[in-house]
Amino acid sequence: MFSVTVVDHIMIAHSFTGEAYGPAQNLHGATFIVDATFRRPELDPNNMVVDIGAATEHLHAICADYNFKNLDDVAEFKGVNTSTEYLAKVFADRLAAKIADGSFGPHASGVTGIAVTLHESHVAWASYERDL
């Protein structure tokens, strides 16, 4: 299996609902390093997994939608606990949609999986992996 990973980051604010979150129920900030990994069993005709430039641009565009925002105020997240795990899925699903709609180019259709990891710190991170 071949893979390519691109990286970006976001700075957000959010809060959680529910006792399980303890003090994180209060508004707080987070800076996430966002890794997006694209996988495929065989390289495309250009010997690539995916165009790294396109992957970088699409990941950056998704990050820009949330960067410096209070996620509690973002319509798509109303009533949702935006845990690190949940956000990893949001990023993976949005990248998968871009592959499906052809935004990554015709050869990206051979990508069979995406994994997104959000690093909260040097000691904690969460990931979501999905098939295409």
Please compute the mean of the pLDDT values over residues 36-61 and round it to a whole number: 97
CATH of domain 2-33+40-131: 3.30.479.10
Is this structure's pTM higher than 0.85? yes
> Per-residue pLDDT averaged across 62-87, rounded?
97
Query: Which percentage of the chain shows pLDDT scores above 90?
Result: 100
pLDDT in tens, 101-129: 999 999 999 999 999 999 999 999 999 99
Average pLDDT over residues 39-68: 97
pLDDT, position 1: 96
Mean pLDDT for the stretch of residues 74-82: 97
Please tell me the predicted confidence (pLDDT) of residue 94: 98
**40-61 mean pLDDT:** 97
Torsion angle in degrees (nearest 10) through CA of 98, 99, 104, 108: 180
> What is the chain's mean pLDDT, rounded?
97
Q: Report the candidate in 35, 50, 16, 44 with the shortest Cα–Cα distance to residue 92.
A: 35
Strand partners, 69: 12
- Tell me the CA end-to-end span of the chain in Å, nearest whole number: 14
Q: What is the CA radius of gyration of the chain?
A: 16
